[in-house]
Structure 1
Amino acid sequence: MTSHRIGAETPSYLRTELSQHGQPPHAAELMAKQLKGENAAVRELLLALSVGFMLPGPLPADLERKIDGGEVESLDALVHKAESSGLLTPDGTVVGPAQHALLTVAPTAKVHALQRELVSVYAANRQPLGDFARELARGGLSDPRVASELEHAANKALEHDPGLACQLYDEALLAGADELSTAARRAQAAAADGDLDTATRIVDTLLVADNPPDVRRGVDVAAAVWAQRDMLARGADVYSWLGASRLGPSAPLAAIALVGSGNRAGAEALFSADAPPASPTLVATTLALTGRGIMETLTADPDQGLPRLIHASDMFNAAGAALPMPETPAALAALVALHSGEPHTAETVCRSAAAAGQGGNAAKPRLFLLQAWSAMMQDKLEDARLAINEATKTNHWPLVPRDEFLCSALEVGLARRNGDVPELIKAWERAREAMLHATVDLYSLLPWGELMIAAARLRESRRVAHYVDEANQLLGRLGDPPLWAVPFHWAAVQAALLSESPADLAPHATALARAANHSHLAAVLATAGKTWVSVLADKFRPADVEMAARSLGRVGMPWEGARLAGHAAAKTEERKDMVRLLSCARDLHPQSSSAGNGSSGSAEPRPVPSSDQGNGMHPDGSGLSEREKEVARLVLEGKTYREIGEAIYISPRTAEHHIARMRRRLGAENRSDLLARLRLALNSDNTPQE
């Protein structure tokens, strides 16, 4: 249907109203009066053209019979009359008000009969309806041919444009498509577009039906939705309900859910020797590689798991398909890389997958969040924050519970690494809320580990004790696979150190030592754990601390390494050892927080620039150097010399010298006077310059 433009062809009595209101409120009635003055044949021609018939071309059979039989004037005469009355443009288009009036006043049954006849003309000419089918469906026409074409178009869009597929399936239903036969595909489109509630309603209706059609696809959707709701075990249950005999190509997806929920035996049974070979298609090969890769990660020698999953992710990027999956290949590859001490690899995989649109809109937030976690592990906190922002704005739906939980743990991790206690408390409160909607599975151990450490830091360990027990039980059911277990044990060691609880420390330290025979990461972390204990007991060798700290940096944990070296530097008695350890800490954590971040009272030190040179040591307008500003902020927070040294990797004596120099420069007579002058100096520094 064409839109009408005001012009000379519009009847004069309509032009005034159209020019004032665009579409007059009574256009249909006014035009109907004029149409009554036209003969029936002209009105019949105009109605046919309004419905969608075109000149030149076939017209409705009844009108053509009348013209051929001489019952009405010739077609040329009818067209001439319509044009003369200003109702038909020279290109054969009915003017807008006339078209609207005809379709409004004509009986609906007659309009639909003409539309069905037009559909028959398209079919006879083997011409697709295209967007016209969508107009017909939205206009209320129920016709199996229209429904079939819309359904076919939706099927083509399903894997590459699920949002469009949702619209087309809805229009197919309007045109009379069968709800049950399309249910699985409609649920897939809704889930891939991020609409979990709609997907759940559709798939629930399907799975309770007798002999549901396309049931395997429906189960895939259900499992994917349960995973996004952070209830992966329920997804595994759905695959168990379907049964191994009906899994077919979905066996690797079932394995992902089963492994993630702790059912190793069930997953292994899906890869028996007599299992049929996978289809040679790109998607089928991707799924098969993903399943094999996740199984490899459970072995004592998991080195082949990561390459398999990265290959699967690359192929899935090339396929460009948005399939329902408990976890995408890219997300799994990133998780395995993070658990292997390779955060840079994880970041690269996630960035490539997000750029390729792997998994569609629904998968993007998780990819960005895992990219943020990778950046946080590498001590690139600003990059992590940017990736979180991308995750929260990339979709028009709120974050699903699984991603909301991961995001809340990220916020806790960033606040902890910034040494920002007020922000940490705020992030912890958000995480506590997210925990109520989360469950423990294999793919969520990293955030649970971070929350375990933060809980110990805030003396809130009881809040996570139940979840920690579940995580340990899950790992036990899987046979304590080193790749997945080692980072969680390391988090437990850090939590025990913060809680000063040797009893809690012992089993996890033992587990790391046991895994060290098969895992380089475990060996590094076991050594780091022992070194931390020796530092806390004041029985350490600086060389051992430096070696452990630099080893942490090499396995993707530079912040942890810098923290270990900085803490030891504050405890050493020899100046040369202190300088050595501080240099190590700065090498591992070169970024500076010298501009200040509002922290107060953190037991976890913050970084400083790698040297005093070229970092504003000469006083500026505030009267303080950049280093002195950092010390000043800590003084105003009430820190002691020792606490200042631990926070910014300097010795307590150096902190004392900074404070004495600031007192002299600012002319402070006593401590209270110094505090007042420091506040003024820092406020002056924050005042915008003209």
Structure 2
Amino acid sequence: MRAQEPAFLHAELNHPGQSPHAAELMARQLKGENAAVRELLLALSVGFALPGPLPADLQRKIDGGEVESLAALVERAEKAGLLTPDGTVVGPAQHALLTVAPTTKVHALQRELVTVYVTDGQPLGDFARELARGGLADQRVAAELEHAADKALEHDPGLACQLYDEALLAGADEIATAARRAQAAAGDGDLDAATRIIDTLLVQEDPPDVRRGVNVAAAVWAQRGMLARGADAFSWLGAARLGPSAPLAAVAMVGCGNRPGADAVFKADAPPASPTLLAAAMTETGKGILESLAGDPHQALPVLIHASDMLNAAGAALPLPDTPAALAALAALNSGEPHLAETVCRAATAAGQGGNAAKPRLYLLQAWSAMQQDKLEDARLSINEASKANHWPLVPRDEFLRAALEVGLARRNGEIPELVMAWERAREAMLHTSVDLYSLLPWGELMITAARLRETRRVAHYLDEAKQLLERLGNPPLWAVPFHWAAAQAALLSESPADLAPHAAALARAAHHSHLAAVLATAGKAWVSVLAGRFQPADVEAAARGLGRVGMPWEGARLAGHAAARAEERKDMVRLLSCARDLHPQGTSTGNGTSGSGETRNAPTAETGNGMQPDGSGLSEREKEVARLVLEGKTYREIGEAIYISPRTAEHHIARMRRRLGAENRSDLLARLRLALSSENPPQE
């Protein structure tokens, strides 16, 4: 016999508006029926099926002749309109019976029905979930819900959360399931719930499933922006109990600057803990992160990409201090290959690497890759995806990364009010996180912006921590070179040779082993020569194009544009402006293209400064294009979209035309523009 799906699963769905009073009326109607008929209908409402075993008490009465035969009872119920021909109790009767019957009676029948399922070897399925929600405490139900949750844990943490909660309702052991429940909550992105569960577990004298619990604790600490606390959790567990978690411990310990601790718990040449795809992915992650500390870290990136590929294939949402995809993306960004970082993040996001909790970080790193490649709109789209990737607010680590991205985008747009607002948001985000190896890129961006806004004191403490972290790890080039470059840019903006010197020297030393360092060292020298007013245009152009080749086109355009503004010869200015446009084709600017702090707003073009070629109308060719669009009533943004310039550039063109034509207001400007353009094409007589 196969028990039918319990009727009460649908009773409330069929009659959501059924009131207790209506149920009582139906119950009084049922009282007019034979007591045995009511007993049969209640059993069928609970989930017993015809033909098949019935509750023991009813079956005994039928077999002993105390009541009519089963066929007679069924016939009575059908004639009364309470039972359909397929053996289903009609909806109102189901609801009435289940509402009015004593809870103890209903639970007793439910336990008998569970016995039927177990005897037949049938899984309870959704029946178990409804029983638990209905308040039935039964270890068989709890065990099945636990088993279902365990199956969902690594692939659907949100579902696992629900199933574990229902297992608790059915009587599961709260402490025995704690580590798994915390993993499900963390995987679903609910850090607060995961923390509460883990705190309950780890204060036990001998916590069950303690290694899993520590994995979750470390992952939660990392997402809270306190990676060192996660490393402490692994240290508390001890090397003897780490087992397959040793690579995760290495990632956390390296991230907070504890290389000796990482070496003590994980050997890079150690085989995987088991011959599984998942174990191999974890081992490669640990190996890759240790490789990234080498003097020649060229092996780190492929190893981390392999780890990411394997975890994508495994499809597991595990609690991790950081995903191999995120680590691979950081390695690619720090190697001057942002396009590769973007590809790795896209693949990991599509595969669901790390579950819901990891999605925002992967999208944000994808945004960083786009920003570094000067694809600002793509970066904004990825930030938006990160913000809606999870049904929980961004965790502090991700909120900090998003804040730094907003600062970086505002800095590249050259919008000072936007930059100031983004900086204020970033200042708040700083307070909720701490410095670790995997957050140096955003700290570098904030260091540059702080210098530009004369707010260096706000980040000085954090930057000292970053320097100390890198020193503890031996200043590994992969991680140190981009940080030194950011510090050099900040020193240039602050016009502080003393601050610049150590970072320039560090880049020069690293240039012997790192191509990126060599490019950045050359660019740094070019910047110094430009600021000093003693530069060779060819050297500056070579440095700028070198930046473009290592994934920094905006920085290269900025260098070339700044040099163009200081060039003494027109041919040099045109050459450098052409270079800037090649590297940053969508950006234009007027004047010298720099802000008061020396930062280029956008890469200047050959149409600025002395590049104008006014005719008798007093307008350059570009200004005539803008003038025609102004007369058509276009906005700054619409003008920019029409002729491929920024809205700010359109605004500058219009302001300059107003000054040149002597217009006092907008209507006066429109009249003068009409006259200027009509002089270009006089009417035919």
Fold in common (TM above 0.5): yes
Quick one: distance in 1 between partners of 2:463 and 2:391? 33
Q: Relative to 1, partners in 2 of residues 1:663 and 1:101: Cα closer, same or farther, differing over 3 Å? A: closer
Q: Which residue of 2 aligns with 1:467?
A: 462
Q: Deviations over 1:414-473 (max 9, x none)?
A: 000011100000000000000010100000000000000000000000000000000000
Quick one: distance in 2 between partners of 1:362 and 1:117? 41
Q: Which residue of 2 aligns with 1:82?
A: 77
Corresponding letter in the other structure for 1:668: G
2:287 alignment partner, SS class: helix
Q: Which residue of 2 aligns with 1:57?
A: 52
Q: Matches of residues 224-235 of structure 1 in structure 2 within 5 Å?
A: 224-235=219-230
Q: Deviations over 1:639-675 (max 9, x none)?
A: xxxxxxxxxxxxxxxxxxxx4x7666xx537xx5699
Shift of 1:631: 5.7
Q: Deviations over 1:89-124 (max 9, x none)?
A: 111111222212212222211111111111111111
Shift of 1:533: 0.6
**Contact 1:252–1:290 (CA under 8 A) maintained in structure 2:** yes
Q: Which residue of 1 aligns with 2:377?
A: 382
**Contact 1:590–1:610 (CA under 8 A) maintained in structure 2:** no
Equivalent residue in structure 2 for 1:564, among 559, 562, 577:
559
**Contact 1:572–1:578 (CA under 8 A) maintained in structure 2:** yes
Q: Which residue of 1 aligns with 2:172?
A: 177
Quick one: distance in 2 between partners of 1:636 and 1:423? 22
**Contact 1:412–1:428 (CA under 8 A) maintained in structure 2:** yes
Q: Relative to 1, partners in 2 of residues 1:481 and 1:6: Cα closer, same or farther, differing over 3 Å? A: closer
**Contact 1:587–1:610 (CA under 8 A) maintained in structure 2:** no
Q: Which residue of 2 aligns with 1:604?
A: 600
Q: Matches of residues 349-364 of structure 1 in structure 2 within 5 Å?
A: 349-364=344-359
Quick one: distance in 2 between partners of 1:521 and 1:171? 54
Equivalent residue in structure 2 for 1:668, among 644, 648, 662:
662
Pair 1:677-2:672 in alignment: no
Pair 1:365-2:365 in alignment: no
Q: Matches of residues 6-25 of structure 1 in structure 2 within 5 Å?
A: 23-24=18-19
1:398 alignment partner, SS class: coil
Shift of 1:260: 0.2
Q: Which residue of 2 aligns with 1:288?
A: 283
1:180 alignment partner, SS class: coil
Q: Relative to 1, partners in 2 of residues 1:24 and 1:614: Cα closer, same or farther, differing over 3 Å? A: farther
Shift of 1:610: 7.8
Equivalent residue in structure 2 for 1:413, among 385, 403, 408:
408
**Contact 1:147–1:172 (CA under 8 A) maintained in structure 2:** yes
Deviates more, 1:352-361 or 1:454-463: 352-361
Shift of 1:5: 12
Pair 1:592-2:587 in alignment: yes
Shift of 1:620: 1.4
Q: Relative to 1, partners in 2 of residues 1:276 and 1:313: Cα closer, same or farther, differing over 3 Å? A: closer
Q: Matches of residues 424-503 of structure 1 in structure 2 within 5 Å?
A: 424-503=419-498
Q: Which residue of 2 aligns with 1:652?
A: none
**Contact 2:272–2:280 (CA under 8 A) maintained in structure 1:** no
Q: Relative to 1, partners in 2 of residues 1:456 and 1:359: Cα closer, same or farther, differing over 3 Å? A: same
Q: Which residue of 2 aligns with 1:13?
A: none
Q: Deviations over 1:142-184 (max 9, x none)?
A: 1010000000000000011111000000000000000111100
Q: Relative to 1, partners in 2 of residues 1:676 and 1:265: Cα closer, same or farther, differing over 3 Å? A: farther
Quick one: distance in 2 between partners of 1:154 and 1:628? 53
Shift of 1:87: 1.5
Q: Which residue of 2 aligns with 1:335?
A: 330
Deviates more, 1:352-361 or 1:405-414: 352-361
Deviates more, 1:508-517 or 1:673-682: 673-682
Q: Relative to 1, partners in 2 of residues 1:628 and 1:27: Cα closer, same or farther, differing over 3 Å? A: closer
Q: Deviations over 1:357-410 (max 9, x none)?
A: 111111000000000000000000000000000000111100000000000000
Quick one: distance in 2 between partners of 1:673 and 1:26? 76
Q: Relative to 1, partners in 2 of residues 1:678 and 1:195: Cα closer, same or farther, differing over 3 Å? A: farther
Shift of 1:4: 6.5
5+ residue gaps in structure 2?
1-6, 613-619, 633-638, 675-685
Shift of 1:592: 3.5
Deviates more, 1:85-94 or 1:203-212: 85-94
Quick one: distance in 2 between partners of 1:274 and 1:498? 45
Pair 1:393-2:388 in alignment: yes
Quick one: distance in 2 between partners of 1:306 and 1:273? 15
**Contact 1:609–1:615 (CA under 8 A) maintained in structure 2:** no
**Contact 1:421–1:600 (CA under 8 A) maintained in structure 2:** no
Q: Which residue of 2 aligns with 1:620?
A: 628
Quick one: distance in 2 between partners of 1:143 and 1:294? 47
Shift of 1:273: 8.3
Corresponding letter in the other structure for 1:622: V
2:305 alignment partner, SS class: helix
Q: Relative to 1, partners in 2 of residues 1:22 and 1:277: Cα closer, same or farther, differing over 3 Å? A: closer
* TM-score after normalising by structure 2: 0.89
Q: Which residue of 1 aligns with 2:63?
A: 68
Pair 1:203-2:198 in alignment: yes
**Contact 2:561–2:604 (CA under 8 A) maintained in structure 1:** no
1:396 alignment partner, SS class: coil
1:358 alignment partner, SS class: coil
Q: Which residue of 2 aligns with 1:238?
A: 233
Corresponding letter in the other structure for 2:228: A
Q: Relative to 1, partners in 2 of residues 1:678 and 1:351: Cα closer, same or farther, differing over 3 Å? A: farther
2:442 alignment partner, SS class: helix
1:580 alignment partner, SS class: helix
1:338 alignment partner, SS class: helix
Quick one: distance in 2 between partners of 1:372 and 1:567? 26
Q: Deviations over 1:548-573 (max 9, x none)?
A: 00000011100000000010011111
Q: Relative to 1, partners in 2 of residues 1:274 and 1:515: Cα closer, same or farther, differing over 3 Å? A: closer
Corresponding letter in the other structure for 1:362: A
Quick one: distance in 1 between partners of 2:126 and 2:576? 70
Quick one: distance in 1 between partners of 2:154 and 2:367? 27
Quick one: distance in 1 between partners of 2:34 and 2:672? 91
1:137 alignment partner, SS class: helix
**Contact 1:312–1:329 (CA under 8 A) maintained in structure 2:** yes
Corresponding letter in the other structure for 1:469: D
Q: Deviations over 1:314-370 (max 9, x none)?
A: 111111110000000100000000011100000000011111111111100000000
**Contact 1:298–1:478 (CA under 8 A) maintained in structure 2:** yes
Shift of 1:84: 1.3
**Contact 1:446–1:487 (CA under 8 A) maintained in structure 2:** yes
**Contact 2:371–2:409 (CA under 8 A) maintained in structure 1:** yes
**Contact 1:409–1:447 (CA under 8 A) maintained in structure 2:** yes
The count of residues paired between Structure 1 and Structure 2 equals 641
Corresponding letter in the other structure for 2:573: M
Shift of 1:268: 1.2
* TM-score after normalising by structure 1: 0.88
**Contact 1:445–1:471 (CA under 8 A) maintained in structure 2:** yes
Q: Relative to 1, partners in 2 of residues 1:99 and 1:423: Cα closer, same or farther, differing over 3 Å? A: same
Q: Which residue of 2 aligns with 1:651?
A: none
Pair 1:302-2:297 in alignment: yes
**Contact 2:305–2:344 (CA under 8 A) maintained in structure 1:** yes
Q: Deviations over 1:201-252 (max 9, x none)?
A: 0011011111111100000000000000000000000000000000000000
Deviates more, 1:246-255 or 1:614-623: 614-623
Deviates more, 1:400-409 or 1:264-273: 264-273
**Contact 1:133–1:149 (CA under 8 A) maintained in structure 2:** yes
1:407 alignment partner, SS class: helix
Q: Which residue of 2 aligns with 1:34?
A: 29
Q: Which residue of 2 aligns with 1:114?
A: 109
Q: Matches of residues 97-246 of structure 1 in structure 2 within 5 Å?
A: 97-246=92-241
